[in-house]
Amino acid sequence: MVLRPVKMSKIYIISLIDYRESIIDYLHERGVIQVENVDREISRYLDRYVQEDSRGISEQYVRFKGLEKYLVPHEIRKRYRFKDLDDLLSRIREINIDDDVQSIRNKLEEIKTKIKALENNLESLEILRKLGIDASNLDSRNIFFFIGRMEIEEKERFEDELKNSNLIYRLSGDHYLEFFVTGPAKLEGKALEILNRYHASILQLDRFDGKTDELIGKIKDEIRGLKNIEEDLRKELEDISREYYDIVCAISEELEIYMKKNEVKTRIAYGKNVFAITGWIPDREFEKIREELEKMTSNSILMGRVKTDEEPPTLLENPKKIKFFEFFVKFYSLPNSLEVDPTVIFSIIFPIFFGFMLGDVGYAVIILIFSLWLLRKVTRPSKRSLLPRSLRNFARTMMSNYSWGMLARAMIFGSLWGIVFGIIFNEYFGIQLPYAPLLDPVKEVSKLLLITAWIGVIYVTYGLILGAINHYSMYRYYGEKGKAHLREMYGRIGWILITWGFTLFGLWLLKWPPVYGLGNILGVYAGISLLVAGTALILYGEGIFSVMEMASIISHVLSFTRIMGVLLAAVILASVLDNIFLHAYRYGVLSHIAIAFLVLIVGHGVNILIAIFEPGIQGARLHYVEFFSKFFHGNGRPFMPFASRRRFTEK
């Protein structure tokens, strides 16, 4: 069922020890069981210890992972198959490239260090050449010198400090200085103190075997020579990688699989001739697994469900097209396996809220284009980017590429709804086209307020219904131990009655015709009756302290009117910007038109920026705070099946 995590069952498998390896292999390839430690009721009858044949698997895994990291990746030409552990170990013995690879890596690191040092010297020499200083005159123990760059606002003050300290210096530039400071060795500390005070960046220079221009030429030649050697070494590494990368990756993957199998074996309980495994599987897989294991072992197997009150692990299974919305649910918390999975609900309602608050066709189209561009950027990044590196780095500090991708996908859905609501509201960059809107957000504020308040009533009620269903499900699962959940269910029903009691009574006070027109029947008698009945159920289900939270249900319902607030703010700002430009245009003064046009572009740009973030933030908040709080427990533990992704190997 889409609105719930996959139903899980804890199972036991008992079979002859002769079938252990084949059963473990089967379970690993099927990838549908999360293996747990065997329950005490079973393990107390199976108390033997079995020594596993590890044969240095973990050490070899570390070795081949290291080789895989150092080799140059390339497209995989074929996948490998290993018959058994002996075959794998035999192939491992054939790989003797460790020393060659390590030698190349060491030489590359050494060359990298040398090139870095030479580039630092070259940078210093370039400054000396610009300042007209001969490097060969600096090789003396009696003097010190500092070369570097710095940003500075008070150049004159800096020069005065150097002069007053009897230091010799040369400077180039105004606010961004390149400097050379020297003097007797005894003044080195004073010079360093001044430079540190102005946050100077001091560069390295340890080459004095020639004049400045000669040294620059020599160092450039040395760097070219080192880069040629580096290129030869990389070609050598590429040749090794071309021959061995496939097999190294395959062995590494197979070793990882053996390590997982050995870890599972530590969770198995053993008897003299039998062994037992327990774990969680999707309940729908039970019969199929039993049939296949019975066939594999010639019916030498016992398999059944374990009666337990443990909380099962959570496996979410949503339609592929909306599965990415699980990211936003998990951001709040992973649902536990016994409650409603709100992913589908979130995937439907969040984009509608986003589009409602956006409410402008022009803005929605721009955000749609931006979202499609962002999605392409994070899923298929190009080597070159028009965005400055600093901006890209800032974006990465806010969220990972994966998170930006999820946000872009959600905004695509939201902006499509924004186009729909923009047509309904007749809003196109704040301009209305010559047709009557189905709902005018500026002229029909009271109607809009009523609509958003009703959205709050209905959505809060839906959350409370889901809460009651969750508690009933937990009561059924835990049985007698879950009686508290049954009481909580009545409490949730009480909150539903309270919500509608306040709603009817409030609408009667506001003289809303459908309620007020019936006199006191709905507003007073029905409303107060619901409040009394709801209070009684809350007292029974959740206790006296919960009654103190009664006012919060009103605030949660009214919180949905923020949908109207965000929409109105964007619509009115867009309209004001358009009117400023139109008035300036009608006035006819060119300078006024130019200024108004600038205000129009910048203003709409800011409004679009707000429209990207504000509907998303407020839409998520309405779910996380006002909706999820009515039913969502979270803190689920993820289902972690005993499985491996095979990229380089075959079974």
> Concatenated DSSP letters for 528-558?
HHHHHHHHHHHHHHH-HHHHTTHHHHHHHHH
Span 191-212, pLDDT tens digits: 999 999 888 899 988 877 788 8
8-52+266-305 shares its CATH topology with 111-223 = yes
pLDDT confidence band for 51 (50 / 70 / 90): low
Span 82-117, pLDDT tens digits: 988 889 999 999 999 999 999 999 999 999 999 999
The alpha carbon torsion through 29, 640, 633, 635 (nearest 10 deg) reads 180
pLDDT confidence band for 586 (50 / 70 / 90): confident
Tokens 């061995």 — which residue?
244
Does the domain at 111-223 match CATH 3.30.70.2750? Answer given as: yes
- End-to-end CA distance of the chain: give it in Å, rounded: 32
Give the angle 646-648-651 at the CA atoms, nearest 5°: 55
Of 243, 241, 251, 265, which Cα lies nearest the Cα of 82?
251
Ranges of each domain in the chain: 8-52+266-305, 57-100+227-259, 111-223, 320-630
Tokens 């697994």 — which residue?
289
Selected from 1.10.3720.10, 2.40.30.10, 3.30.1370.60, 3.30.70.240, the CATH number assigned to the domain covering 8-52+266-305 reads 3.30.70.240
Stronger pLDDT, 388 or 249, i.e. the higher one = 249
* Alpha-helical regions (H) of 266-358: 286-296, 326-332, 343-358
SS (H, E, C) 405-466: HHHHHHHHHHHHHHHHHHHHHCCECCECCCCCCCCCCCCCHHHHHHHHHHHHHHHHHHHHHH
pLDDT value at residue 419 = 96
pLDDT confidence band for 505 (50 / 70 / 90): confident
* Alpha-helical regions (H) of 94-170: 98-131, 155-164
Q: Could you tell me if 297 and 16 are in contact, meaning their C-beta atoms sit under 8 angstroms apart?
A: yes
pLDDT value at residue 537 = 94
| Range from 54-63, 89-98, 315-324, 455-464 carrying the lowest mean pLDDT | 54-63
| Range from 12-21, 363-372, 590-599 carrying the lowest mean pLDDT | 590-599
Within a 10 A sphere around the Cβ of 465, how many other Cβ atoms? 16
Helix (H, G, I), strand (E, B) or coil at 144: strand
In the predicted structure, residue 557 carries a pLDDT above the cut 80: yes
User: How distant, in Å, are the alpha carbons of 105, 201, 251 from that of 192?
Assistant: 38, 11, 56
Q: Look over the chain and give the mean of its residue pLDDT values, rounded to a whole number.
A: 89
Q: Which two tokens stand for residue 338?
A: 């016994």
pLDDT confidence band for 150 (50 / 70 / 90): confident
Span 316-366, pLDDT tens digits: 999 999 999 999 999 999 999 999 999 999 999 999 999 999 999 999 999
pLDDT confidence band for 550 (50 / 70 / 90): confident
Stronger pLDDT, 192 or 55, i.e. the higher one = 192
Of 5, 38, 19, 33, which Cα lies nearest the Cα of 285?
33
Span 294-306, pLDDT tens digits: 999 999 999 999 9
Rounded Cα gap, residues 539 and 526, in angstroms: 20
In the predicted structure, residue 46 carries a pLDDT above the cut 80: no
Report which DSSP code applies to 48.
B
Q: Letter for the amino acid at 479?
A: G
| Range from 141-155, 336-350, 409-423 carrying the lowest mean pLDDT | 141-155
pLDDT value at residue 393 = 67
| Range from 231-235, 431-435, 519-523 carrying the lowest mean pLDDT | 519-523
pLDDT confidence band for 48 (50 / 70 / 90): low
Q: Could you tell me if 226 and 111 are in contact, meaning their C-beta atoms sit under 8 angstroms apart?
A: yes
Helix (H, G, I), strand (E, B) or coil at 283: helix
In the predicted structure, residue 19 carries a pLDDT above the cut 60: yes
